[in-house]
Amino acid sequence: GYIGYLFGGLLLVVLLLFAFINLRVAILAALAIPLSLLSAIMVVQLLGIGMNTLVLFSLVLAIGLVVDPTIVFLESLQRFRQRGLSGRDAARKTFETVGVGVLLAVLTNILVFVPFGIVSGFFGEIIKYIPATIIPAMAASLLVPVFFFVPVGARLLKPKGEVQRENEFAGVWPVAIKLGRVVKALLRKGKKWAVLRVAVFLLGLILPAIVGGALIKGGAIE
């Protein structure tokens, strides 16, 4: 059953990439999934762990995580290519711009699963398979694009249409452009925008508590 979920999740991710991303970026990003998962399987085998239900569950869980670094790197690379930079300069600018952020995001995902590996007792023996699978997959999700997809993308990705050197949103998804403009508007100076920023922040804190409280009170969550 988990093998079916694994391939089903992989198919859905690939279809989503084809629908929303540049075709070449989508193909390269889709390849990151099996490469990262295969790396995790190799580590699991070296640790002497068989392909049990929890390992397969962990691989399904990792699908949505391992593709993120590759998408961020390649989209940034495509953006700088669209602004007229050469492949080498676009790759260098990509690492300078998003490299630290992607590294911290991957480390955060890894740290979340570390406690699962140090739980003692019978429960610890059961869930140890989750970090043993997820952590190698996350490490591979960072190393694969850094050492393979960014160098390859620097050669394969080309500007789409006319080069837009002065356009800060060149090569960016249309949805991302709209979100970027909203963020720029929220960051304007003035008391009105400061109040709006505080309101958005408080809404982000309060809304989950209200929804969670309503679900508990209604009996949906015990």
* pLDDT at residue number 199: 93
Measured in residues, the chain has a length of 222
- Report how far residue 146's alpha carbon sits from residue 78's, in angstroms, rounded to the nearest whole number: 15
CB atoms within 10 A of CB 133: 27
Task: Identify which has the larger pLDDT, 145 or 49.
Answer: 145
Identify the residue whose tokens are 């997959």.
137
- 3-state SS of 8-32? HHHHHHHHHHHHHCCHHHHHHHHHH
H runs (alpha helix) in 21-115: 23-46, 53-66, 68-82, 87-113
Is the pTM here over 0.75, yes or no?
no
Q: Quick one: average pLDDT of 195-204? A: 92
User: Phi and psi for 158 in degrees, rounded to 5?
Assistant: -125, 160
Query: Would you place residue 177 in the very low, low, confident or very high pLDDT band (cuts 50, 70, 90)?
Result: confident
Query: Would you place residue 24 in the very low, low, confident or very high pLDDT band (cuts 50, 70, 90)?
Result: confident
Identify the residue whose tokens are 């997820």.
134
Query: Would you place residue 105 in the very low, low, confident or very high pLDDT band (cuts 50, 70, 90)?
Result: very high
Is the pLDDT reported for residue 211 higher than 80?
yes
Q: Quick one: average pLDDT of 192-208? A: 92
* pLDDT at residue number 99: 92
